[in-house]
Structures are given as structure tokens and as C-alpha cells.
Structure 1
Amino acid sequence: GIPALTAEVESTSLVLDTPAARLITRGEERPLLLEQVEDLATSAALVVDMFHHSVRRQDTVVSLGTRPVLFALARILAQAWPADVSREALITAAFQARHLDESHRARLRVEIGRLRAKLRPLADVTATKQGFALTPRKTRQVLVLARPVEEKHATILALLSDGEPWSSSALALALGTSARTVQRALDELTRSNKVQSFGQGRARRWMTPPIPGFPTALLLPSPLLKT
């Protein structure tokens, strides 16, 4: 019968019943609840995990957190599976290149070779007439676990979506980045009216109302938070 506690329970229940991720496979996508995300930890499928920038199948995990180009290539190939992806599409998406030339094609060959070596325990990257395709090992299913909302500062919005006030230093600590980087992102989000602040100096805090369909990444099951 305590109104404040009842409101808190209802708010938490709403977050837990809100899609925590998107599952992309064979060109289609659907939302996943937290318990469904947890089920993927024991799935025999090859999972490209966009939350932790890794490719895994059950207990075998290949981390690509420090190799953004390789992860971008892996994601594009996984989303297209079982079809292939043209070289032009891979270059444009992974290298952010506007005008393609032979140097880009040469770089793509190098990066595909590196990706093939990284993914050897889980999959192969085979050349096709137009480009490349992902061929999983010991499974016939490839899944992409994506964030429910994708935008430039999605991780900051995810943390702020719990409705609690955050300092910029706390956000930087949680994200493993510099306070200056976080502050620039907060300034940009403020200009677009996606976050608001109160207080001055070190007492300044940032917050935003909960975003429908976007619960905090900290609510993910603990086994999936391992790096």
C-alpha cells in the first residue's frame, strides 16, 4: 500500500516486459524480451552479438571489440546469411567509403583474410562471384543480436533510460570512455532534446524519461555481460 514503492515496482515490471533487443535472421527481425535474450546463451546457433561486439556459439566466443572493421564485416555477412554480400556493399558499410577504388578492394581482401582467421573456430568466409558469404560450422542457423534502437549515442541513452540522474563521470566510467567524450555526446543529445540536465558544476546530473522499447543494457543477463 505504499504509493512510491508500488510505482517503482510497476516501473521495473514495465522495463522487464519491454523488448531488450532485436533478433535479425534471414532478412527478418523481431523483438526479444530479456528472458529470450538469455535463452540465446545456450543456443546452438552462431550469434553475432552487437551488445558485446563478439561472435559466439555457446561457450566458444570470438571477441571483436578492438576490431571494429572486422565486426562490421561479420555483422553485414551475418545479416545477409545465407545469401552473399557484394564487395561494393561490404566496402561501403565497413570502410564508410563514398568513392570506391582499387585500394579499397585490396583492403577488403586483407580484412576478410583477418576475419576468416578470427572466425575459424566458428565459421568460414567464402568468396563468391559477387562478394563473400558467411558459412557457419556445426550449426545451420546464424543470428544477429542487435540493440532495440540504433543511433549514434545509443549506449548513453540506454543508461539514462532507467530514469535515474547520472553524472558525466559516472557515465564515462560505465562506458569505459573519457569524460570529455561523454560530455560532447551529452551536449549533442541536449541540443536534440533527448536528454536534460540539472544542477551546476560537479553536482550537474543528466537524465531522460524512459524510452519505449529501449531498456538499459545493464539489465541484460549476467552471462551475456562477460567480455
Structure 2
Amino acid sequence: MDSLIAAAARALAAGDPLGALNRVALRDDAPALALRGIAMAQLGDLVRAKALVRSAARAFGPKEAVARARCIVAEAEIALASRDLGWPAKSLDAARATLEAHGDHLNAAHARYLEVRRLLLIGRLDEAERLLDGFDPAPFPPASSAAHELIVAGIAMRRLRTKTARAALVRAGRAARHAGIPGLTAEVESAVRLLDSPAARLIARGEERLLLLDEVEALMASKALVVDACRNVVRDAGSVVALATRPVLFNLARVLAEAWPADVPRDTLIARAFRMKHADESHRARLRVEMGRLRTMLGALADVTATRRGFALVPRRASEVVVLARPVEEEHASMLAFLADGESWSSSALALALGASQRTVQRALDSLAAAGKVQSFGRGRARRWMTPPMPGFATALLLPTPLPID
């Protein structure tokens, strides 16, 4: 490795992409192309960065397996930054194995972190934890330690383990300051702010208030009967009933919970659950059928009793009934939650993260764009969608599955 390449690599490791480009901007050999690609990625030009890294991978000879593996890892990181979540995980795993076999443990660890971050983004927490389990970041530089602790904190937030998350963020902040990379320090500070931002909304006895994540954790551990509109489940301290595939039943349960301890008139239930402005006898008959189904589903948690004017929810063990909802609720709220992280997303990445078809996602994006809530740039496969962050809310916690059910 010549002196200019070595100096550019040190500049990139210190978070100085302009210093790296000053040394290799006019060179077209494989190592320079790779470093230029990483520098452009740090500067935010992800399209150019991806092209340069791919050119570098092709330019390295067949005997330079480690260099090509590093290029694959760099391309995966660029894909993650551009929210292109469909990149082949098998290629990254093969690159990680190559790096480990040749003793490049630092870049192998970086490859592992990229895969864990991808799993975290798409909500596959169990897989992310298994991949991270037992991994010790101690032998690596402070920047790697900070990245590790950020991932630990991210998993803990989604598992509602706020003490674990705060401790991990303290360690991440210490490592980021030691690394001296401003961008990394800013990422840690942003994560810390999430813990002090509203993560959910509590509705009880006709009143509403915002909850921080640690308050949500305390609520889930309490003896209250919680109708959880973040995951469409009903739970108390002893059991959980999932109604994600039964939207009508969940809507009925939520209306009853919001009115508790009072009952709800039949016409109100029909309007809220069936979206009917005017009820007739067929709707009332359907309401009786659905209430029977809800009574069966909630049998271990609560009873649904008929009153003179409607129905009421009567918990069996809990002394209180509450509704837990997102801080902001509107159509396509889950999609807006992903877009509100400030990054640009492809429609295919959103489809993967939401578990929906790309056509469904595209229709929703077109609707949001028509309402001025999102904007796009680029064309074809390069088209990306984004929206400014919602100030004052923990947008990273508004994922479709942010809360545990067991």
C-alpha cells in the first residue's frame, strides 16, 4: 500500500472524507476507487459511491479476495444507508466469512453489524439478537464499539428494556467521543433524544396523554388491561390475545376500552367498527355476531356484556382498562413512521419492512405524495421517497412492531 492510499484510509477512518479525496481524487487504480467510493458515501452521494465501489471490486484481481470482500461490505453499507434493503444478504455473509478466514476481524465485525442493522430495520429482532449474541467488541477500535452499543440500544428500545438501552447509549457516547468522529457522536445523541421523546399515547377514562418509552414499559408490566393499538393486541399481566388479523374485532375492543367503565351505544359501535353512517337491522344483527366473537376471543381477559343501549367491557382480573396508541394516528401511519427517520427509502425496501406488496406500498406513496406528506426524487429503480422528521416524536419507535407481546 503506497503512502497516499494509507493516508486516505486513515482520513476516512477518522471521518474526514474531504481529506481522503484530496489524496486519491485523480487516481483510478482499484484501492483509490474503493476509497473514493467510501468518501463519497460519507459525503452523502450514495449513487456515485455505489458506482465507485463496484468499479473497485471489478478492478481488483482474482487473487485479491480480501479486497473484493471489503468492497462488498462497503457496497452493503451504502445500500443500507440508501435504504435498499433488498441487497443479497448471502453475498455479505460470504464476504464476512472471507474476511474472517484471512484474519481481517475488524471488517468482518463491520459486516456483521451491517446485517444486524438490516434485520433491526425490518423488525426481525430475534435474528438480530442471535447474530449479535456473544459478540465482544472490546478488541476493536472505539468507532466499532460505538456501533455495537447503538445496535444493542436499538434492540433494547424495541424490546422495551429502557434501562438496558440507556446504559448502552452511555457506553456508545463514551466510545464515540473517544473515536472523535462528529457524525457518530451525532448519531448517538439522536438515539438518546429518542428515549426522551413521546413513544406512545395513553387513552383512559376519556383523557389522553403522551408516554415516554420507560412509561410504556411500566404500563406493560402493570395489572391494567391494555388494548394495544400499536400491535393490535389485547393484553393484561397474564395473557395476550392477538387481533391483528381481525380488524373489526380489534376496532370494537378499542371503542369499548376508550369508553370504559361506561358502555357504548350500538349505533356508535356500528359507525366506528363498520364505518357506517346509518345503521339498519342488518348492521345491528352483524354487531351482535361480532360481539359474540369478541366475547369468545377475550374470554380469559374480559367479558363483553350487553346493556340497555349497547355494550360494555368488563375486565376479569385487571382493575383498569386503557388504550395504548401511536403518538400520531392517520392513514398509512406505519409507512410515515419509517419515512420519518429522515432517510430516503425505495418502495421495495418499504414493502420488505412493512411486509406488504410493492404495489400496495406504491399506491400508498402516491396517496401520501398527493397530500404533500412525502416527496420523491429519481426515476425507475433509483426513485427514493422521504419526508422530514416529525419534531418532538420518537419516530424510530413508531415501527409496526415496536412492542413485545410476551
- Bin the TM-score by the shorter chain: over 0.9
Deviation for aligned residue 1:83: 0.4
2:386 to 189, 207, 213: 207
- 1:37-61 superposed Cα distances (whole Å, 9 cap, x missing partner): 1222311110000011110012401
Partner residue, 1:43: 222
Q: In 1, Cα distance between the equivalents of 2:186 and 2:371? A: 29
1:216 to 371, 387, 396: 396
1:23 and 2:202 are equivalent in the alignment? yes
Deviation for aligned residue 1:2: 3.3
Compare the two structures and name the one with the higher strand fraction.
1
Partner residue, 2:131: none
SS at match of 1:216: helix
Partner residue, 1:99: 278
Letter in 2 for 1:215: T
SS at match of 2:395: coil
- 1:53-83 superposed Cα distances (whole Å, 9 cap, x missing partner): 1100124010111111100000000000000
Aligned-residue sequence identity (percent) comes to: 66
**TM-aligned CA distance change 1:191 to 1:219, over 3 Å:** closer
2:314 to 110, 131, 135: 135
Q: Check conservation: 1:159, 1:217, Cα contact below 8 A.
A: no
Partner residue, 2:189: 10
Deviation for aligned residue 1:218: 5.7
Q: In 1, Cα distance between the equivalents of 2:291 and 2:356? A: 28
TM-score scaled by length of structure 2: 0.53
Q: In 2, Cα distance between the equivalents of 1:218 and 1:127? A: 35
Residues 188-203 of structure 1: pairs in structure 2 closer than 5 A: 188-203=367-382
Partner residue, 1:180: 359
Q: Check conservation: 1:19, 1:33, Cα contact below 8 A.
A: yes
Root-mean-square deviation (CA), in Å? 1.8
- 1:115-138 superposed Cα distances (whole Å, 9 cap, x missing partner): 000000000001111100000011
1:155 and 2:334 are equivalent in the alignment? yes
- 1:1-27 superposed Cα distances (whole Å, 9 cap, x missing partner): 533223323322222221010011111
Q: Check conservation: 2:230, 2:401, Cα contact below 8 A.
A: no
Q: Check conservation: 1:69, 1:95, Cα contact below 8 A.
A: yes
Aligned length: 226
- 1:91-122 superposed Cα distances (whole Å, 9 cap, x missing partner): 11101112211000000000000000000000
Deviation for aligned residue 1:221: 9.0
Q: In 1, Cα distance between the equivalents of 2:189 and 2:216? A: 22
199-208 or 20-29, which deviates more: 199-208
Q: Check conservation: 1:24, 1:143, Cα contact below 8 A.
A: yes
Deviation for aligned residue 1:220: 9.0
1:108 and 2:287 are equivalent in the alignment? yes
Deviation for aligned residue 1:198: 2.1
Compare the two structures and name the one with the higher helix fraction.
2
Q: Which segments of structure 1 move beyond 6 Å, counting only runs of 4 or more? A: 219-222
- Structure 1 portions without partners, runs of 5+: none
Q: In 2, Cα distance between the equivalents of 1:65 and 1:195? A: 27
TM-score scaled by length of structure 1: 0.93
Q: In 1, Cα distance between the equivalents of 2:384 and 2:204? A: 39
Higher-RCO chain (CA-CA 8 Å, sequence separation at least 6) = 1
Letter in 1 for 2:396: T
Larger radius of gyration: 2
**TM-aligned CA distance change 1:73 to 1:219, over 3 Å:** closer
Partner residue, 1:57: 236
116-125 or 201-210, which deviates more: 201-210
Deviation for aligned residue 1:172: 1.0
Q: In 1, Cα distance between the equivalents of 2:383 and 2:211? A: 35
Q: Check conservation: 1:21, 1:31, Cα contact below 8 A.
A: yes
Deviation for aligned residue 1:170: 1.3
Q: In 2, Cα distance between the equivalents of 1:102 and 1:218? A: 39
Letter in 2 for 1:191: A
155-164 or 75-84, which deviates more: 155-164
1:34 and 2:213 are equivalent in the alignment? yes
Letter in 1 for 2:282: S
- 1:152-187 superposed Cα distances (whole Å, 9 cap, x missing partner): 111101111111221111111111111111111111
1:121 and 2:300 are equivalent in the alignment? yes
